[in-house]
Homo-oligomer: A and B are copies of this chain.
């Protein structure tokens, strides 16, 4: 199993991605990782880490001269065929890798994956789908969070279907419950496209209808996104991005205020030390800078995106998700099921 890893999109240089890759190959003996990026820089990091030892065989380097700027849009990115991002995605196209991870510009990555790999036949729009922690200790899939702005009824239904297959395959949930994001739980609430999607999903998921295997739960409000009440939340890319960034903003704000409170004086600093076990887990779980791994679902290949500010632990957990997606052949499962339904 081979992963192509664009190590140049990190805000803090390529060291964190490389450390995560090394941890992965240590843990999974069936895995090879191709580090894609500036050959000199990568070699330098590996030399520093391994000193006189030999770099493990499961690690290889694919040199790429250019780096897609973090501000780049899709058009700028697809015009850079020698970028680490394009080269990493191309390795999947050429079947030299089974999946790809990048933490570069979201819009750029979307453009490059789209151009090089194309979409799954029958899926009109891909979606970014993060896997988020819930209050109940489980996971919830939210899609789309920014591959699109607006989405049609049929696109939203295709998101539900893809997430259903992902949830079954990767998260082992037998019959994942699916909700639509809305500003009220009532059927007649919200924007026209949400009301229409509600009606169509309700109809298509009735017994004997074509999507009767989907478990449609109805609407969910943004305040309950992380409640764990449902397994999948479907929305247009604009709303999803607003939810994700609002959650992220509030978490950052509260933790920074708590930190400020605990660093006021020596006594509060001492209290902070004692309270550490209380906060352990909470902060890490909901600090979106440290998680935020998302699959670009609907693309004809297994493409994951990590946050640009990820640390090595966060790259590691995204690589693990990517490995699972490859192992479970998730994209082919989506392809097959979509083809059967069309």
Please report A residues at the B interface, Cβ cutoff 8 Å.
135, 146, 149-150, 181, 183, 190-191, 221-227, 238-239, 241-243, 245-258, 261-262, 264, 268, 271, 274-275, 277-279, 282, 286
Contact = CB atoms under 8 A, between A and B. Distances in A.
A312 to B, nearest CB: 23
A252 B149 CA distance: 28
A305 B309 CA distance: 40
Nearest to A255: B254
10 contacts: A135-B253, A149-B190, A221-B249, A222-B242, A247-B247, A247-B249, A247-B250, A250-B250, A258-B278, A261-B279
Given A254-B254, A279-B261, A249 B274 contact: no
Contacts of A238: 183, 190-191, 239
A225 to B, nearest CB: 6
Contact of A247 (B181, B227, B241, B246): B246
Nearest to A221: B245
A181 B256 CA distance: 23
A251 B250 contact: yes
Contacts of A275: 271, 275
Contacts of A190: 149, 238
B253 A226 contact: yes
A278 B271 contact: yes
Contacts of A254: 250-251, 254-255, 282, 286
A146 B150 CA distance: 19
A47 to B, nearest CB: 38
A152 to B, nearest CB: 14
A245 B222 contact: yes
**Leading 3 A-B pairs by shortest Cβ distance:** A223-B249, A246-B246, A250-B250
Contacts of A249: 221-227, 247
B246 A223 contact: yes
Contacts of A242: 181, 183, 222, 239, 242-243, 246
A180 to B, nearest CB: 13
Contact of A191 (B150, B227, B268): B150
